[in-house]
Each structure stands twice: as structure tokens, then as C-alpha cells.
Amino acid sequence: MKGTVPATVILGAQWGDEGKGKAIDQLASRYGWAVRFQGGNNAGHTIVIGDTTLKLHQIPSGLPTPHCNLVLGDGMVIDPWVLEKELDAWNALTGEKPEGSRLFISERASIILPFHRLYDSADKVVGTTGRGIGPAYRDRIERVGIRFADIEGLLENSQSISASASRMSSQLAAIGIDHRISAQDLENDLRWILDRYGDAIAPTGHMLDIALRNGEQVLLEGAQGAMLDIDQGTYPFVTSSVTSRANASHGAGIHPGHIGPCLGVTKAYTTRVGNGPFPTEIPSEDPSGQHLAKVGHEFGTTTGRPRRTGWLDIPALMEAHRVNGFSGLVLTKLDVLAGLDEIKICIGYELDGRPITMLPVRAEDVARCIPVYETHPGFEAISEDEWLAMAQKSHEEKSWLEALPDAAASIVTRIEELSGIEVQCVGIGPDRRSTLSKPGGMFDHPLNLGNF
């Protein structure tokens, strides 16, 4: 056997929507496996290749790379109906049916059923996506959820199916939802799932362990972001899974010793979807916030909801770094700042009249934090084509930040200084090629247009 090659982890360093899909797509050509290790279809990763835009919710962002195997990992909760829509869209675009050939579903992953979506629709506090993620994770913790590995056994046991359907109906009634889950409907759903995905359901943890021990490269893809982590985020306005590096190996079904580099993805500003505290949020009537929303196309990939926009929050970024220990930063959407007269970076807060540099634990306290800003000069707006030409010239000449306008380069340098984390690449447009790559870094390789 060859020596073990560490797996690479890519995580969101904010409240999600940081541009992880693009970063993963850019790295995937150098990896044999791309693995989602947590979350469900509440995630949305967008990849732009030429005139084609892919919006993925459960399938790993290595999908456009033909040689890259794809794993929906142990730690996920998976909606089979949404997955089918993603696969059908990919098949219509490319003619490929990857399920069972290079796309595999962990037998340990949990299934999101119609019951979970109905139950989630009752949320009026947290502002969830309503996709059934939280209820599916709750069922897992209560040890009553159904995994892909459990389907065959349940189909042979009508009594267990009846008991599960009865439990679901009772729980819906308890929260005022007038909908009954019948045993026959549940059986039909499970039978369809097995028929549709039977060839793809696999012991993916063992497959990845063997791949790593044989020297294959594995990319572990996080969903949501560090500030939405169930344990370390702005609770209770968080997602239902552990989004951190510590869960990357566990959710993939491999041991922590396999984990190597860990990249944090952060925008050059900050956004948040749904409810919850957001210290650097810019009021919706402020022209700067309107600029970020419009130029950055800040609408949720999964829900289409407008994202709240704000300035880059260094204390929140350092909180993400504390939990994940980023070995490098992927800085995205620097181009969105272009056209602003001035650019702000939050370097601390005031809470009840006293200065603090750490994000408080209680959401109520985070909501009372008043940001302390540095103000930097802005830089002129240019077209997407001009940003792309800048990135391509930088790659050809093996230059780095000197390819940027001076004010833009200063923002990147200041983020490195404040965070203490080396920036590996800078996104300056939606296209996979619109990226400045640090010479000799992980992203320093040719990025082609792609072809569908």
C-alpha cells in the first residue's frame, strides 16, 4: 500500500453562502473524491463555468470534474426527491447518470421524508429553510430516523412501518398540522427510494478509507458555515449539524488522522440568510448595503431569499479560526466591493459601553454588539470581463496581488494582517477562472473553461 495522503477540508468561515462551491470546483481536478460530510439540501453551492450555472444542493461540487468520485456522506440528511431533480438536471445537461458509477450515497446517511418537511414548515422562530433538515437530525438523535441502510429491513417488516407512520402522524398533530402519514404512503416512498438509488447506496466510509490508504486525494466539502454550527455558532439561530473541521472526518466515515489542510472560505464582506444576530449588518436603506446586495447577487441558492449584507467581521472570522484552525483563506467576491467610495472592516465590538474583541456566546449579547470599524478607500468598478482578463494575466505572469488595483490589494493584505491567516486565492468574479491564485499555493494550476 502507498502512504496515506491527507484529505483536504473546505469550510465556510461565516454564516454560509461564502462561495465554497466555486472553490471546490477549482480544486476538484486535482482530487479523486469529493465528499459532503454534513447538512442536507438546505445548502446551496453555485458553480459558474462559462455560460453554464450549476446550483447544487446535495451533490458535491466536484460534479463537473469527470474523474472525480462523489460521496454523500454518513453525516448527511438526504432528500431523495431533491436529489433526483439534481441528477435529472445534470443528465439533461451532460447525458451522464453518475449514480452508482461515480456518485455514491452512504448507507449510514439519514433520509428526509415528506413528514420532515411538513414538520419543519411550522418553524416561525429560527428562520430555517423549511427543507426538513432539523427534524431529520432530531429523529437521528432520538434513534427513530430511517437511514438508507434500514430500508430493506423495514420493507420486510410492515409492523415497523406502521409504527413509524403512526409516530409521524402524532407528531404532526401535536404541532397543529392536519396531515396523516399512512403506512402505505411510507412503504411506497421507501420502495421508490430503494428502486431509484439501490445501485448507489454503498459503505462509503470504507471506500474512502481504502482510497486514502492507497494514496488517492480526497476533498471534504462542508455546507453552511462556521457561525451556523450547532455547538459553536450563534445558537439558536444555527443549522442542525456540526459544520466544523472536527466533523469532516466523522461525517465522512474516516478517522481524524486523515485530515490535512483546512481552508476557510470567506467573502470580502459578510452576508446572512434567515433570522439571528448580525453585528455588521448594513441597514437595507443604506446605499452600501444595496450595492453589495445588487452587485453580489445576494439571494439564497436554496430558497431565493434576499441575503442580509454587512461589512467583513474579523472577530467572527477569528471565532471560526479558533474552532477550525484554518491553514489558509479563500477570499471571495472582492470584485463586489468595487464601486464603493469607502470599505469598512470590523475589528472589534463595543458591548454595553466596553470594548470586546470576541464574539459573545449568547445571541442576545451578539445582537447588542456595536461594531468598531476601520475605513479603507474604495476602488473603481470594472466589468466581469475585465476582472477575468486580470485573473488570466495574473496566472500567466505568475503574479499575485500586484495584479489588483492598489486599494483592492490593500484590503486583502489587511485581512491577512488582522486574521493572521494566509490568503490562498482571491475571487474576483463568478467564473471558475476569475481567481487570483497565490504562486505555489493550492489553487496555482490551470483553470479551463470546461465543456458541457
Question: Which value, to the nearest 10 degrees, does the dihedral of the CA atoms of residues 133, 138, 140, 143 take?
Answer: -160
Q: How many CA atoms lie within 13 A of 398 on its CB side?
A: 3
User: How far is CA 440 from each of CA 301, 400, 431, rounded to the nearest angstrom?
Assistant: 32, 11, 21
Q: Give the torsion sign (CA, 185, 191, 192, 197).
A: positive
Report yes or no: 310 and 267 within 8 Å, Cβ to Cβ: no
Q: Is 17 a catalytic residue?
A: yes
Q: Is 321 a catalytic residue?
A: no
| Candidates 45, 116, 258, 321; catalytic one | 45
| Residue carrying C-alpha cell 485581512 | 415
Report yes or no: 251 and 77 within 8 Å, Cβ to Cβ: no
Question: Active-site residue numbers?
Answer: 17, 45
